[in-house]
Amino acid sequence: MPTRDGWLVIVDPQVVFADPAASPWGSPLFADAVPHMVALAREFGPDRTVVTRFVADPSLGGSWEPYYDEWPFALVPGDDPLYAVVPELDDVGGQVVTAGTFGKWPVLADLVGPEARVTLAGVATDCCVISTALPMADAGVTIELVADACAGSTQESHEHALATMALFGPQITIT
């Protein structure tokens, strides 16, 4: 039985971000954040939990072209094991949405609605999480960002992203 109101959005808890030894995008903070993500998913239940996935989309063009020139390892199909959700979180979301961009608000907007209350977790705090949180707040969503359920590319980058998002209070609250 869910014990929390609103939605839980877990941003990109995927293999590609889980281990720095396995991927250049791996977060050294990911392993510590996963148990907090799992605990949140239990509190919300699958009907109120959304998991997002990043999958490379080279057809986007523009600045994405030089981006993938720098990160060609990422140009694999969406069903490649690199883009799989980590086993600990594979079945927690009643909804799984995929996007080829850092920010996930465009694929979440219709699902959660513009005046929703969202608890946000995931990886990387300094990329996909912040790119999701800021447009959500701008659209009117009230966000509780759970810091220990997020993982940055480095501890320093994680802390900088949290500090930046804290500037958007009361739309974004860091807990």
Decide if 1 is inside a domain.
no
**Could you read off the pLDDT of 124-166 as tens digits, one per residue?**
999 999 999 999 999 999 999 999 999 999 999 999 999 999 9
Q: What is the DSSP letter of 47?
A: G
Decide if 31 is inside a domain.
yes
pLDDT at 115: 84
pLDDT at 74: 96
Region 48-59: mean pLDDT is 96
pLDDT at 139: 95
pLDDT band, residue 22 (cuts 50/70/90): confident
- In sequence order, which residues have a C-beta less than 8 Å from that of residue 125 and are 6 or more positions away? 150, 151, 152, 157, 158, 161, 162
Whichever domain contains 153, its CATH number is 3.40.50.850
pLDDT at 93: 85
**Could you read off the pLDDT of 76-117 as tens digits, one per residue?**
999 999 999 999 999 998 999 999 999 999 999 999 987 899
Percent of the chain beyond pLDDT 70? 98
Decide if 160 is inside a domain.
yes
Residue 95 burial by Cβ neighbours in a 10 Å radius (0-12, 13-18, 19+) = middle
Q: Which domain holds residue 120?
A: 7-174
pLDDT at 1: 53
pLDDT at 121: 98
Number of domains present in the structure of the chain: 1
Decide if 2 is inside a domain.
no
